[in-house]
Structure 1
């Protein structure tokens, strides 16, 4: 069914009659415009005046309704910022499209660029709203298969005890020795790989095991990485490769080797390039 619309619009009591520019609505093949043969009723209330076909009597109404598939382009370009009521599209049938560009400076800060509502016996409720700054507000549950916050994307929620504080997020790309430019150097290398991360400490690795982080991100058994331990806890020179500035064989740094049961911490000579940096965030 083709639906043709009268080319005049009245808005508000006593307001001027405005022309609707570039309005084209069709279902199926595009139809040429035909001037309605019947004129709008005299004394009709303010609102849209439309006809189903050129031969029908024009009907007044406060809403603009479209059912089925179709396309609207250049919609109400002559109206600018005028208030012109509501546009309803039936979600049944095939695809409905509305497209165009809204100028940021012409949109009220309180306006909704996208607003979905539901109607029930207790009134109309906002369900989804997008404002001009792109903020999305949803009333009700959101169901999806993947959630991303920045570049941190997850397909499932943590199970068991929730993680608290920084946890393991991955390793740097290269196997390195202990001469990394100090603690600031190793932290910078992690940050370059995972924004906002730093070289993991012993406590952060243990926390990652406790809250299931290694399992959650798919770390495989046998994965090893350098970590920081702070001051020596041994008779040997286990001093974080002298604060991550040394590649000497007689100085030691800590590394963690992860397994399905959590793994264990070990010591390595700082001249070895057997491990990557373990990064936590």
Structure 2
């Protein structure tokens, strides 16, 4: 159910336009790599991919820097408001981000109105960093939930041994606990990479300038343009450009992903 459609898209991406009017399951008569060049240059897929790479890299970096310490503290320490924070993050798991895109846009738009009055320049809309910040913020509940569960499974013996050796809380977290959490961190990075890379609605709403569009939005524009131009090879080449990075990443981290879902702190 999955392999056949994916393989068909790859095969279709190297077909000439005339080959689509015959048997759709027929093998290509040749390898027409010009489709990828046309999609990359004429359809600006290269520019869209660069925007996506920047947004995903910044978003994941922000997410890891914020979520790792937060998850560790909520999993290991009890303080007056820890229960409240746990409830808030758990509640965030049930919020569909697509339903709150409009209020997010209105808040950022109002912020730009204020900035135009003060500085004459907007900042919040059409800004790749702000889009990455929104991505990281909306992914915090799931990420903290996943990492907290992993930290709770680790034995406290590691931290106690570090405390005996004179390490403080911050040093124990960075030098002892974080290295042990690598499989779980890889799992978080993969899940959020897929979510950020394929996200469409928020990107379309917050980025209105054509040169700032991300890859999914650019692909939808390409699909809309090809309905009239009927350049199917170029269209499927664009689909392949979107899919290949996710496939490569999954293949590279598949082993770590399995470990992140199954490993605890101690064996045996």
TM range (shorter): under 0.3
Q: Which has the higher helix share?
A: 2
Between Structure 1 and Structure 2, the one with more strand by share is 1
- Under a length normalisation based on structure 1, what TM-score does the superposition of the two structures give? 0.19
| Structure whose CA Rg is larger | 1
**Higher RCO (Cα < 8 Å, 6 or more apart):** 2
